[in-house]
Chains A and B, each alone.
Chain A
Amino acid sequence: MSIAYKEQHVHDALPETSHDELARQHFVRSFKEHLVTALHPGLKTAYEKRAKPRFVAEHQREPQSIQEVGQVMKQDSHYQAWSSLLRTSQEMMWSAAQIPVERAIADLAAQAAATPKIGSLRLDPDLQIPSYHTAVDIHCQPGGYHTEYIDNDVAQGAIYDRAVYIYAMGQMGVNNADMGDSTVAWLKQEHPDFKPTRILDMGCAVGHSTLPYASGFEGAEVHAIDVAAPMLRHAHARASSMGLPVHFSQQNAESTDFEDNSFDLVVSHILLHETSSAAIKNVIRECHRVLKPGGMMLHVETPPYEGMEPFDTFIFDWDSENNNEPFWRKSHLLDLEALARDAGFQSHTPIQIMVPSAFQETQRSNTFQGGDFGGGGVWFVYGCQK
Chain B
Amino acid sequence: MSEGPDEVTLQRKAKGKRPFYFSDPDVDRLLSMVMALTGELSVTRDRLDTLERVARAKGLFSASDIETYQLTDSDMEERAARHRAIFKEVTRIIVGELEDLEDRDEQDYRAVVDQVENDG
Contacts and interface: CB of A to CB of B under 8 A. Distances in A.
Interface of A: 19-20, 23-24, 26-28, 30-31, 74, 79-81, 83-85, 87-89, 91-92, 94-96, 98, 101-102, 105-106, 135-137, 140-144, 147, 149-150, 155, 321-322, 324
Given A80-B21, A84-B22, A92-B36, A155 B10 contact: yes
Contacts of B32: 84, 88, 91
Interface in B1-37: 6, 8-16, 18-22, 27-28, 31-32, 35-36
B43 interface: yes
Nearest to A153: B8
Contacts of A20: 43, 46-47
B59 to A, nearest CB: 21
A221 B14 CA distance: 36
A322 B35 CA distance: 18
B22 to A, nearest CB: 5
A123 B16 CA distance: 28
Nearest to A87: B19
Contact of A137 (B15, B27, B36, B46): B15
Given A23-B43, A80-B22, A136-B14, A105 B31 contact: no
11 contacts: A20-B43, A83-B19, A85-B35, A87-B18, A96-B39, A98-B10, A98-B12, A137-B15, A142-B11, A322-B19, A324-B14
A101 B43 contact: no
B45 to A, nearest CB: 8
A323 to B, nearest CB: 9
Contact of A92 (B14, B28, B39): B39
B55 to A, nearest CB: 15
Contacts of A84: 20-22, 27-28, 31-32
B39 A27 contact: yes
Contacts of A85: 31, 35
Nearest to A106: B6
Contact of B14 (A26, A89, A141, A150): A141
A94 B46 CA distance: 20
Interface residues of B, number: 29
B16 to A, nearest CB: 3
A163 B118 CA distance: 57
A83 B39 contact: no
A324 to B, nearest CB: 5
Contacts of B12: 95, 98, 142
Interface in B92-114: none
A354 B10 CA distance: 39
Contacts of A74: 21
A147 B11 contact: yes
Nearest to B30: A84
A23 B49 CA distance: 11
A97 B9 CA distance: 14
Contacts of A88: 31-32, 35
A324 B36 contact: no
Query: Which 6 residue pairs across A and B have the least CB separation, nearest first?
Result: A136-B16, A23-B46, A137-B14, A140-B14, A80-B21, A27-B42
A165 to B, nearest CB: 17
Most chain A beta carbons < 10 A, residue from B6, B11, B14, B46:
B14
A30 B41 CA distance: 13
B16 A324 contact: yes
Contact of A19 (B11, B36, B50): B50
Contacts of B20: 84
B9 to A, nearest CB: 7
Nearest to A28: B39
Contacts of B28: 84, 87
B43 A27 contact: yes
Contacts of A79: 21
A322 B32 CA distance: 15
Contacts of B50: 19
A24 B45 CA distance: 11
